[in-house]
Amino acid sequence: MNNKNLNGKTSARRERDREFLACYTQALQLAIAQRVPNAQQLAVCWTIHNGSPHYHVSYERAYKVVRRLLADGTEPPIRESLQLEMWREIARRVAALTAGTRVSVAKALEFVLEYGRASRFFVTERYARETLVPRARRERMDDLRRQHHARLTYMA
């Protein structure tokens, strides 16, 4: 196992994906119950743009990035626009909490990461469709198999 699998970024991604799948599953069930055409696609889009996830980043990384953004506007060297949008959003929220107050950047950041909700899931539709949706399907099938096995065991 390499360090990439042990770092905070990987565990943060796992948490974000779990939170996305929980929201997506509820949206999909509602869309199916309402007989909405293209329920899966609608559930993905709705979840991305209307879910209210936590910010899944480590405090240490967030502190470095936000301090740079607030101090001199230096943006982190990130190619993905959604990630950059997320960092800007976190920095704006921290700035709003510290403006005209004695609240430190560190405390404001801690508050935003602990209690703040992101405006959206910062994942692409492609990632959601190609990675998360198949995972949700596999998990549902595993649950059905376990339930079926439990029923058979109970009946025996």
The Cα–Cα gap between 101 and 107 comes to: 12
State the pLDDT at residue 152.
67
State the pLDDT at residue 143.
60
Predicted confidence pLDDT, tens digits, the chain (156 residues): 333 444 567 788 888 898 998 999 999 999 999 999 999 999 999 999 998 789 999 999 999 999 999 998 888 888 888 999 999 999 999 999 999 999 999 999 999 999 999 999 999 998 888 887 777 666 666 666 666 666 667 666
State the pLDDT at residue 6.
47
Neighbours of 32 (CB within 10 A): 12
Phi, psi of 52 (to 5 degrees): -125, 75
State the pLDDT at residue 93.
97
Q: What angle do CA 69, 73, 79 make, to 5 degrees?
A: 75
State the pLDDT at residue 156.
61
Give me the residue spans of the domains in the chain: 1-53+120-156, 57-118
State the pLDDT at residue 147.
67
State the pLDDT at residue 89.
96
